[in-house]
Structure 1
Amino acid sequence: MESLCDLLFEVSNEDRLRILQQIRDIPSSISSLARDLNLSSQEASRHAHRLTEVRLTRRDPDGLFRATEFGKLFLQQLQGPTFTSRHRSYFTAHTLPIPDSFIARMGELNEATYVEDIMLGIFKMEAVVREAEEYVLTMASHYPVSSYPLFFDAWDRGVKVNSVDGKLYVPPEQILEAIGREDWRERIHRARADGLSEDRLIDKVEVNLWMSEREVGLLAFPKADGTPDLIGFSSTDQRAHRWCRDLFDHYWERGEPGHWDEIHLYSDEKQ
């Protein structure tokens, strides 16, 4: 009986993994595998037969090797470890405070691009708002002051903005002063009255997520010590978009209606 360790051992060899990926959809001969993957015929034959021994591949009567259905399934399940392994430095320094069901689907982020600079992360966050045509979804540990004029412009275009915010978020004085301005308050209240802005509150936002109908501008997990971060991933890939949308919906459905800005502004007025 083949164990998980047996399977992992076989695909731990880069050449065998490349062969399995090569014949996932199109069968191939040993000579073709050797040519396409720059291997000797002896190496290609040995690796292909080892994959066959653990039922990841099979040999057709005409001599062509192809991935079995089990082999295709195994490759699909490897996408999660492939993604996290590719970004092992990032995931060594960051934690994932999200449900296990989303961790099990991490392979859907396989085509995401690493955003390695905070300023680039802010740029991509704001670009999502600037370029959206239908909607913007945000889960934000904090909002840059520069993002609010972009929200105003988005509302003017008829773009709906849904946000999941944290009850425990303590905004800096600069943010409170900005959103406390009469003209800004009027724009925010009008958008809420027109149904273009809707917020939900959870205790604490740990994962930063900014996305639109077109793309994921930024998905950033907190650092290992729990500190929010703006270094993470962006993507226009459909599977990554679906993963991020599902994550947003998960927290949206568990949030309660409310606005973090009004909590703090009303608190200040009472004082």
Structure 2
Amino acid sequence: MSRHREYFSTHTFGILPDRYIRDLGALEKSEFVDGITGVLEVWRRIIEGAEDLLYGLVLQLGSDYTELAFSKIREKQIETKYILPKNATVGKRYFDLDRKYKANELIAKGLLERRITAKVDVALVINERQACVMFPTANGTTDFNSTFYGEESEFYDWCMDYFQYRWNTAMRYDKSKFRALQ
């Protein structure tokens, strides 16, 4: 963690349970990506690189990344799970894309599962080989201008374990709570 000391002087661990804070040394095995352009490229790389699974613990679903993920699920028949906060903001085309890509069929086939949670402050995007994690700033807002990204097993396992923990504590999906951007 010493090489990320400056970063964590302006960021917090959010609602991470102690066991994940104790294991944050796994971040040493990741690459720090700074800047929104770099973060968006990491997300695209993870989504496009998905062959077997795609998991997300995110605050929002932008239309471009939602469409990219839906097309990937259809094309590759990959297992996809995502968790959103119960008051998530979604891109204005989200509900149209949900219908276009027949999300209900994907759910029936077991390819798509969705849940909601009270709060997301530590965000994740994961495929079967790569992961990234974003932490909140001192004011509690998730920082999408920087991410830790990697493929090394210790870092990847930390991200996957935290996703599974959040998945197991999340609630049934209810899109009626979401706000669509206009």
| TM-score, structure 1 normalization | 0.61
C-alpha separation in 2, matches of 1:100 and 1:196: 32
Match of 1:159 among 73, 78, 84: 78
Structure-2 residue corresponding to 1:236:
151
Q: Does 1:225 align with 2:139?
A: yes
Structure-1 residue corresponding to 2:23:
105
- Residue 111 of structure 1: CA displacement? 1.2
Q: Deviations over 1:70-112 (max 9, x none)?
A: xxxxxxxxxxxxx2x2011210111102011111111122111
Between structure 1 and structure 2, the one with the greater Rg is 1
Match of 1:150 among 68, 73, 84: 68
C-alpha separation in 2, matches of 1:185 and 1:264: 16
**Higher relative helix content:** 1
- Residue 192 of structure 1: CA displacement? 1.8
Cα distance change of structure 1 residues 168 and 262 upon mapping to structure 2, 3 Å threshold: closer
Q: Is the CA contact 1:141–1:207 (under 8 Å) kept in the aligned structure 2?
A: no
Q: Does 1:210 align with 2:128?
A: no
Q: Deviations over 1:103-132 (max 9, x none)?
A: 111112211100111121111112211110
Cα distance change of structure 1 residues 130 and 262 upon mapping to structure 2, 3 Å threshold: farther
Cα distance change of structure 1 residues 264 and 110 upon mapping to structure 2, 3 Å threshold: closer
C-alpha separation in 2, matches of 1:252 and 1:139: 9
**Tell me, which stretches of 5 or more residues in structure 2 are unaligned?**
none
Describe the SS at the equivalent of 2:163.
Answer: helix
**Tell me, which stretches of 5 or more residues in structure 1 are unaligned?**
1-82
Q: Deviations over 1:33-61 (max 9, x none)?
A: xxxxxxxxxxxxxxxxxxxxxxxxxxxxx
| TM-score, structure 2 normalization | 0.89
- Residue 184 of structure 1: CA displacement? 3.8
Aligned length: 176
Describe the SS at the equivalent of 2:156.
Answer: helix
Q: Deviations over 1:204-237 (max 9, x none)?
A: 1111100111111x21001110111121200110
Describe the SS at the equivalent of 1:226.
Answer: coil
> Which of the pair has the greater relative contact order for Cα pairs under 8 Å at 6+ separation?
2
- One-letter code aligned to 2:143: D
Q: CA RMSD in A?
A: 1.8
**Higher relative strand content:** 2
